[in-house]
Amino acid sequence: MSESSRLSGRTGDHALGRRSLIWVVTLSTLALMFDGYDLVVYGTVVPTLLDDPSQLGPMTAGEAGALGSYALVGVLVGALTAGAVGDWIGRRRVMLVNLAWFSLGMAATAVAPTVQVFGAFRFLTGVGVGALVATVGALVAEFAPQGQRNRLNAIVYSGVPAGGVLAALIALVVPDSAGWRPLFWIGALPLVTLLPLAWAKLPESPKWLLARGRVAEAQAQAARTGIDLPVDAAAPGAERGHVGFGALVRRPLAWPTLLLGTMSFGGLLLTYGLNTWLPKIMQDNGYGASYSMTFLLVLNLGAIVGGLCASLVADRIGAKRVVASTFVLAALTLALLPLDLPLGILLVAVAIAGVGTIGTQVLIYGLVSNYYPTRARAAGVAWCAGFGRLGGIVGPILGGVLVGAGVGGTTAFYLFGGISLVGALVTSLVPGVGHDEEAASSPAAPRSDSSTVSV
């Protein structure tokens, strides 16, 4: 949309707009760092829970695996719930409620007396995690300037693997004599640190207020935050049509929503499958157990650095092309991992595989966040985070089946590579012609960036 079509009373305070954006990005990133911490910290305490029945009671390996999936099921529930209400009640409320929910869930898990209670609290914690993952993308997309949206979304969603790295490092630092419970108490810190800060500094989205027809509030919030509003901001109900999930199941969003959900399913299948089984597969391929943490750290650090670099390209040529390319990149590098490569080259390949798998999922969140109109954005991100989480559940199971069947790491890597190629194909099918994202409701010319559609 041209500059002339925006409000003349746009505040013009670019410094204020930058400060608001910095707060949104910083608070969202920290929230997802704690989310990543939660999703990884369980794996660091499993050996203790299995070896010491005095902690929660006797536990089999099968029960430990089931406990690990409870949080993922909770994430699915939380994401879909946030999508159902986020486009109706706003981004800020969902963020604040679920920061508290997540923190209290971690604190409750830290004092769980039995396996059953521990599992229940892991599920409830996952609900808060899913709601946050599904909401921050919508919030950042509505504050980020055009041309920076993919980069800023990549920064925010890189908080998840960064939190995973943090969990692994803290687990190494905390002495064994302290037990496993302090690790979950650390996960509860947002209740007394991040939540008060978010309450004071996290703004509501002016664009969401406008989309709900709350024009005066939208204009006042735009003045407070330095965020520009689109043309027709004086017209009540600037975005007409179905809201939330109701918009996703109707034309023109139904078909791309199915494709975007499938992309997220594949991305999270690869993310969780590799994070769970890469050390074991490489160990079976002849590498010592001491390399396990090294491979995981390289995989996730590669995802963070590579994902951020790829997001810069996505802002220039469109996220759709970049996501398709990184899926192909994953397929190529996964095919190299079973080969007898020198260790240095192998670590580089693992890092690039991290870009093509975990990094691709980060880019998918950015693509999805910017694809939908404001009235359906939270639901769209929630759908992809929630449906995609099924891939996060399937990935470790699929890897376990392959490892248990003794088919070897080569087959597993080739299968994951094939899934990457399917992801690239699905990405190429996503429609890229739509309306100007900021337009009130009238059709506009197709955008040069083929990664967004709005109605």
Over residues 159-179, the pLDDT tens digits come to 887 887 788 788 778 776 677
| Total domains present in the chain | 2
9, 149: one domain:
yes
Establish if 434 belongs to a structural domain.
no
Could you tell me which of 386, 383, 361 has the C-alpha nearest to residue 156? 361
250, 157: one domain:
no
Establish if 346 belongs to a structural domain.
yes
- The pLDDT assigned to 20 comes to 86
Residues 386 and 129 sit within 8 Å (Cβ to Cβ): no
- The pLDDT assigned to 409 comes to 64
pLDDT tens readout for residues 307-365:
889 988 988 888 899 999 999 999 999 888 888 788 888 889 989 999 999 889 889 98
Report the percentage of the chain scoring pLDDT > 90: 22
188, 252: one domain:
no
Q: Check residue 408 and give left, alpha or beta (phi > 0: left; psi -120 to 50: alpha).
A: left
260, 362: one domain:
yes
Query: What is the residue-averaged pLDDT of the chain?
Result: 80
Establish if 381 belongs to a structural domain.
yes
Residue range 16-37: mean pLDDT, rounded: 88
Establish if 90 belongs to a structural domain.
yes
The structure tokens 């709900």 sit at: 212
- The pLDDT assigned to 53 comes to 80
pLDDT band with cut points at 50, 70 and 90 for residue 292: low
Residue range 389-410: mean pLDDT, rounded: 74
pLDDT tens readout for residues 356-397:
998 898 899 888 888 887 777 878 888 888 888 888 888 777
Dig out the tokens for 39 from the structure.
Answer: 């999703």
Whether 449 shows a pLDDT value over 70: the answer reads: no
pLDDT tens readout for residues 126-165:
999 889 988 888 888 888 887 788 888 888 988 887 887 7
- The pLDDT assigned to 28 comes to 92
21, 147: one domain:
yes
172, 271: one domain:
no
If one counts every other C-beta atom within 10 angstroms of the C-beta of residue 58, the result is 9
78, 190: one domain:
yes
421, 273: one domain:
yes
Show which of 192, 225, 258 is a domain's final residue: 225
288, 387: one domain:
yes
Lowest-pLDDT choice from 13-17, 102-106, 327-331:
13-17
What CA–CA distance (Å, rounded) separates 39 from 385? 14
202, 317: one domain:
no
221, 251: one domain:
no
- The pLDDT assigned to 109 comes to 93
Domain that holds residue 35: 3-225
Whether 443 shows a pLDDT value over 70: the answer reads: no
CATH number at residue 366: 1.20.1250.20
Show which of 157, 192, 225 is a domain's final residue: 225
- The pLDDT assigned to 440 comes to 33
What CA–CA distance (Å, rounded) separates 143 from 205? 7
Show which of 225, 258, 276 is a domain's final residue: 225
39, 157: one domain:
yes
Establish if 446 belongs to a structural domain.
no
Establish if 442 belongs to a structural domain.
no
Establish if 207 belongs to a structural domain.
yes
- The pLDDT assigned to 241 comes to 58
Establish if 236 belongs to a structural domain.
no
The model's pTM: 0.76
Whether 111 shows a pLDDT value over 90: the answer reads: yes
